Amino acid sequence: MSEAPVVTIDGPGGAGKGTVSLLLARRLGWHYLDSGALYRLVAVAAARDGIDLDDGDALARRVPGLRIEFRLHADTLQVLLDDVDVTAAIREEACARAASRLAVHAGLRTALLPLQRAFARPPGLVAEGRDMGTVVFPQAPLKIFLTASAEQRARRRWLQLSAAGVDASLAAILDDLRRRDAQDASRTTAPLRPADDAVLIDSSDLTADEVCARIAGHCQERGLTVGTDPVP
Ligand code: DC
């Protein structure tokens, strides 16, 4: 495994991992891995190539041939699959559902391991997902488990969608989120759970900046450099 230090941020959907991880990566001047985007990309590729979401072997075989590009901008991540911009497509709720469904396959998860670990390059990596601290980067010097109440997470997602002009029902989002939580936490391979040595943070009553500041404090305690000049 790489020598580069890794901060892992795991937790359920809607806890604010994405925003906080991006903020922290910029603050540290480190690389950023959105592992959920990888699962979502596989869902997009499966739909495009007609691969059954229940066929774990076929999904795993497809991974090495995927040309994936992550471009980190000021506060967004642009995602390309085989040179096609799929940034918006991977954020659709249908894609999230498909990603959660295919994420149960052990073979697929194994196929994605080298891809994820390749992100750990100097000066360091902020990696977010469900199993970053437990499976992908078990040696990480700082592991965060970020939670928030289901109601708060659903409300945040609803606000995001409303801001984007999408007409969505709060009750339906809450239902969907609970279903996905149950699926992610109950699967046998790499279920969503905090690593034994994870620091738990409940973001229900905190802003993303406040959560980021707390994590930066933990970084400093562990001697992980917090820079003031974010890398471009
Ligand atoms: O974080 P997200 O909502 O973009 O993730 C989409 C799905 O991908 C999630 O429901 C479960 C799966 N996932 C996973 O199994 N392991 C990860 N490290 C990240 C995501």
> Please, what is the end-to-end C-alpha distance for the chain in angstroms?
26
pLDDT digits (tens, 9 = 90+) for 134-191: 999 999 999 999 999 999 999 998 998 888 888 889 999 999 999 989 988 888 888 8
Cα 85 to ligand 1 centroid, rounded to whole Å? 20
Nearest to 8 by CA among 123, 146, 103: 146
pTM: 0.92
Is the distance from the beta carbon of residue 99 to the nearest atom of ligand 1 less than 6 Å?
yes
Nearest to 96 by CA among 166, 176, 153: 176
Among 100, 102, 126, 188, which is best to mutate for testing ligand 1, by the most ligand atoms less than 8 A from CB?
A: 100
If pLDDT is split at 50, 70 and 90, which confidence band does 120 have? very high
Q: Could you confirm whether domain 36-122 is CATH 3.30.70.2740?
A: no
Domain boundaries along the sequence of the chain: 1-30+123-232, 36-122
pLDDT digits (tens, 9 = 90+) for 67-117: 999 999 887 899 999 999 999 999 888 999 999 999 999 999 999 999 999
121 close to 31: Cβ distance less than 8 angstroms: yes
CA dist list (Å): 56 to 45, 62, 82, 110, 228: 13, 10, 21, 11, 44
Same fold, 1-30+123-232 and 36-122: yes
Is the distance from the beta carbon of residue 133 to the nearest atom of ligand 1 less than 6 Å?
no
The Cα–Cα gap between 219 and 229 comes to 16
141 close to 23: Cβ distance less than 8 angstroms: no
| CATH, domain 1-30+123-232, list 3.40.50.300, 3.40.640.10, 3.20.20.10, 3.40.47.10 | 3.40.50.300
